[in-house]
């Protein structure tokens, strides 16, 4: 084990500032690379689980700071339709529908995110351990965003259909496009809701990660306590 650590230290010295490097040097005697990686994965697992549990219930998105709002091009449609009979509440209705879809889809996000966490390497873990309060979440976002989108988008589309959001929106857009003197539009709600819902998930995971890094009471296992005590003042 010591041999592996000493082989990796020269590489890590190139990218670490002196303070971060000293943390690593001080911790290698008591904290193994495997423990560091397992601890970070455990922190992310907890963060994802808690984020999904929070968002995947009624009003998890809709009545929280992670609420999915309409894209600007969609607001053009809703603003015009407020004076059209049958569509006076179009924005309120579509907002509730797309947020219900996001809440429904969030239930399926956990396994997708957790599968990505398993790919974290030792080198990733050591860099993240001495990084910022959301370094692990940023790593997850940076390295998995595109793949996660490809898996999560069909789930979102299915949920949008489940709550009749896309059908309702199609009717609204068709009505808008028949109005005189307007430029025809057809915003892609599926793409927008997918990106916004994922952004909300990542943001909440980052909050949970920061909590584990900075609040001793949130380190609920012996492994988390051992790994993250290295960062305590």
Give the torsion through C-alpha atoms of 100, 102, 103, 107, to 10 deg.
Answer: 140
CA 74-75-81 angle, to 5 degrees, is: 100
Which pLDDT does position 26 carry in this prediction? 53
Dihedral sign for Cα 90, 96, 99, 105, please: negative
Which pLDDT does position 12 carry in this prediction? 38
Sort 77 into a burial class: Cβ within 10 Å, 0-12 / 13-18 / 19+.
buried
Which pLDDT does position 23 carry in this prediction? 52
Which pLDDT does position 17 carry in this prediction? 54
**pLDDT tens digits in sequence order for the chain, 233 residues long:** 433 333 333 333 334 455 554 454 454 447 787 888 888 889 889 999 999 999 999 999 999 999 999 998 898 899 999 888 888 899 999 999 999 999 999 988 888 888 778 777 777 777 788 788 898 889 888 888 888 898 889 999 999 999 999 999 999 999 999 999 888 887 889 999 999 999 999 999 999 999 998 999 999 999 988 888 877 76
| Entry pTM | 0.79
């Amino acid at each position: 084990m010591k041999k592996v650590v000493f082989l990796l230290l020269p590489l890590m010295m190139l990218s670490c500032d002196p303070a971060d490097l000293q943390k690593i040097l001080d911790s290698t005697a008591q904290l193994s690379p495997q423990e560091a990686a397992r601890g970070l994965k455990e922190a992310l697992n907890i963060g994802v689980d808690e984020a999904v549990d929070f968002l995947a219930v009624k009003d998890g998105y809709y009545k929280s700071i992670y609420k999915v709002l309409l894209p600007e091009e969609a607001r053009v449609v809703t603003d015009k339709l407020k004076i059209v009979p049958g569509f006076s509440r179009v924005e309120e209705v579509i907002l509730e529908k797309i947020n219900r879809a996001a809440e429904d889809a969030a239930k399926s996000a956990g396994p997708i995110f957790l599968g990505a966490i398993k790919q974290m390497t030792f080198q990733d873990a050591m860099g993240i351990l001495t990084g910022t309060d959301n370094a692990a979440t940023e790593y997850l976002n940076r390295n998995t965003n595109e793949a996660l989108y490809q898996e999560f988008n069909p789930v979102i589309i299915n949920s949008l259909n489940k709550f009749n959001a896309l059908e309702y929106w199609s009717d609204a857009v068709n009505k808008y496009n028949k109005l005189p003197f307007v430029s025809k539009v057809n915003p892609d709600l599926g793409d927008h809701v997918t990106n916004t819902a994922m952004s909300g998930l990542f943001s909440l995971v980052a909050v949970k990660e920061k909590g584990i890094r900075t609040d001793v009471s949130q380190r609920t296992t012996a492994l988390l306590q051992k790994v993250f005590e290295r960062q305590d003042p």
